Structure 1
């Protein structure tokens, strides 16, 4: 086939095809008079290039995927995550404009209100884009499950781990045909327990290696690159949300945005269960940390200061404020569960 015929069949232009040739993405055969000749294999390769470009992959990313087909899923996952972040940013901007237009005194827009709303939007944008993995979970992925066995350590953050995951499933009660989202899924130890109940599980994590291990262990899970502040899930898509040992990786200021994201994707009558390292309230935080200091347990103090353990009372208050019914469960001084039902 000649270039014009290929362009017509693929609904593109000869100029576009030549551009991909110049970038080294495709090399047609050359015939008499140096005319390009395209085989069915070339056609398939071009169709792949056009499809990947259509969803926003760069020419370099496409080139990498053509050399290594295993890269396709990774790039598409990253692109989906980026598009969700962009979509959420657009939604936030539209919402802010709506609020600005509704903030009127007579027929005049109040400048102070506009400035405040603009600052609020800027703050949300910075949170979504600024979150970073400070703990290098990619490097921990392959050994993560083994690292859960910490019996004998002076500060065992995974004490009651199995019991906590089982209790989360007992409360959330995944059912046949439901869609669940496990945030910070890691290697899939909690989310996978929903599969025998017939639920479809979307596993969200910012670590590509964690997602790779999760997919190897549990091929049924729909793994997606993302994080608490920008979930790659549509509005009202989830029947239930689970998360374990993950929320303490976002700051106290970011936690409210994380809870707002959970509320965004959760359907009416949906359920949320959070199993995490936290304290009952500020008084309990001071008591527990004081006991560790008195015992000279530096490992415990370092671990707590290195992360962002919540006060459970703050999570309860937030859910109750927007109409959820909330139940809690305590496993030990630093491991709690918050279960909330949406009305």
Structure 2
């Protein structure tokens, strides 16, 4: 068929078809006799696909990539593009809902008896602007796509379970080597992973050699240096904390759960094993691919804390581990609101993360790190936003939850919030 017939059949303009051709999205055959384009059924199918993707707001660049995945029969990659677009639309929807709420609050203020204090409207507008910017300004400064392949090894290494030839090295402050282990047996000679570095395992504490620090984990574990309070280790007590989270959630078989910032799915996997129907969400495609390899039966989606790509009241519980601290304080508030939105009225929240008990504890930790001259913990605190536990509990309790928490080490806590019946 010619371009007019194709346009009439599809319900789009001939100009739009020419535009898609100029962008390289379609390549109709030209007749040798007169140079007119001839559109085959395959061209019509492709144009229908382009129109469908444009209908959901996908950019031409993303459509080009999506069509390439379709041509190669890569359904998984196509799904990722669709989910990414869905996440964008949910973010717009969440922002629109917030704007509607702010407008209604302004209307309510205007209806109050007495003269309107316009400063209240200004305050509402400033608050709305700040939260909008907080939602828009988050980005992955740590490049978790690049870290996905070694994430589980990092966690194992940080807990003294380094497989194979990955090295774990502890040196003294003078630089002399105290211990170097190159296989699991050397690291785990006494059954539970006792190493030269400070670790807590159950009720037993293994002290770090005086004046030493952990300076290298060749699998790339995220660690800091020792302070007076002990070794700073992002993933210390990792398994203990995940088990605590799973125990406190204690899902009834068939309950629907959401793990936000799932990474490679270690926490979601524990809940899946207990009979929950788990959905895992992460902003990293590569993390989700690793998670899918480990747990093919789990439902996974691209997305983040600030605009969860789900309808209201979709889940019986929400969990997150070692991810919440990537958000700024304003973003953490938005994330809590989003968790509350997607939960059923009786839905519960469990967060496991590095937190300070309160502002006083945070200042004491910083002063101690400064006094000992350890720069890495200070840099980590500046790069990440470890929340204040008392602040989280206070906000959740104001929203009608009862809370409890447990401390796994100096910074790592698990917090459970259950709505009042």
Is 1:97 the counterpart of 2:103 in the alignment? Answer: yes
Distance 1:35 1:281 in 2: 73
Is 1:218 the counterpart of 2:295 in the alignment? Answer: yes
Shift of 1:299: 4.1
Q: Which moved more, 1:158-167 or 1:278-287?
A: 278-287
Distance 2:29 2:253 in 1: 53
Say if 1:172 and 1:273, in contact at 8 Å, map to a contact too.
yes
Say if 1:288 and 1:333, in contact at 8 Å, map to a contact too.
no
User: What TM-score, normalized to structure 2?
Assistant: 0.74
Instruction: Say if 1:308 and 1:4 are closer, same or farther in 2 by CA, change over 3 A.
Output: same
Shift of 1:183: 1.1
Say if 1:183 and 1:205, in contact at 8 Å, map to a contact too.
yes
Q: How many pairs are equivalent?
A: 343
Say if 2:134 and 2:330, in contact at 8 Å, map to a contact too.
no
From the two aligned structures, give the one with the greater helix fraction: 1
Cα displacement string for residues 212-246 of structure 1 (whole angstroms, at most 9, x for unaligned residues): 32233323333333222222222221211010001
Which one has the largest radius of gyration? 2
Structure 1 unpaired stretches of 5+:
none
Distance 2:251 2:9 in 1: 47
Cα displacement string for residues 51-98 of structure 1 (whole angstroms, at most 9, x for unaligned residues): 111111122221222223344233222211211111111111111111
User: What TM-score, normalized to structure 1?
Assistant: 0.90
Cα displacement string for residues 29-49 of structure 1 (whole angstroms, at most 9, x for unaligned residues): 334644443333223222221
Instruction: Say if 1:63 and 1:340 are closer, same or farther in 2 by CA, change over 3 A.
Output: same
Counterparts of 1:18-167 in structure 2, within 5 Å, are 18-31=18-31, 33-69=34-70, 70=74, 71-104=77-110, 105-106=112-113, 109-148=116-155, 149-150=157-158, 151=160, 152=197, 153=214, 154-167=231-244
Is 1:285 the counterpart of 2:285 in the alignment? Answer: no
Say if 1:100 and 1:109, in contact at 8 Å, map to a contact too.
no
Shift of 1:23: 2.4
Structure 2 unpaired stretches of 5+:
161-196, 198-213, 215-230
Say if 2:237 and 2:408, in contact at 8 Å, map to a contact too.
yes
Distance 2:68 2:330 in 1: 43
SS at match of 2:234: coil
Instruction: Say if 1:277 and 1:50 are closer, same or farther in 2 by CA, change over 3 A.
Output: same
SS at match of 2:47: helix
Instruction: Say if 1:217 and 1:123 are closer, same or farther in 2 by CA, change over 3 A.
Output: same
Instruction: Say if 1:107 and 1:30 are closer, same or farther in 2 by CA, change over 3 A.
Output: farther
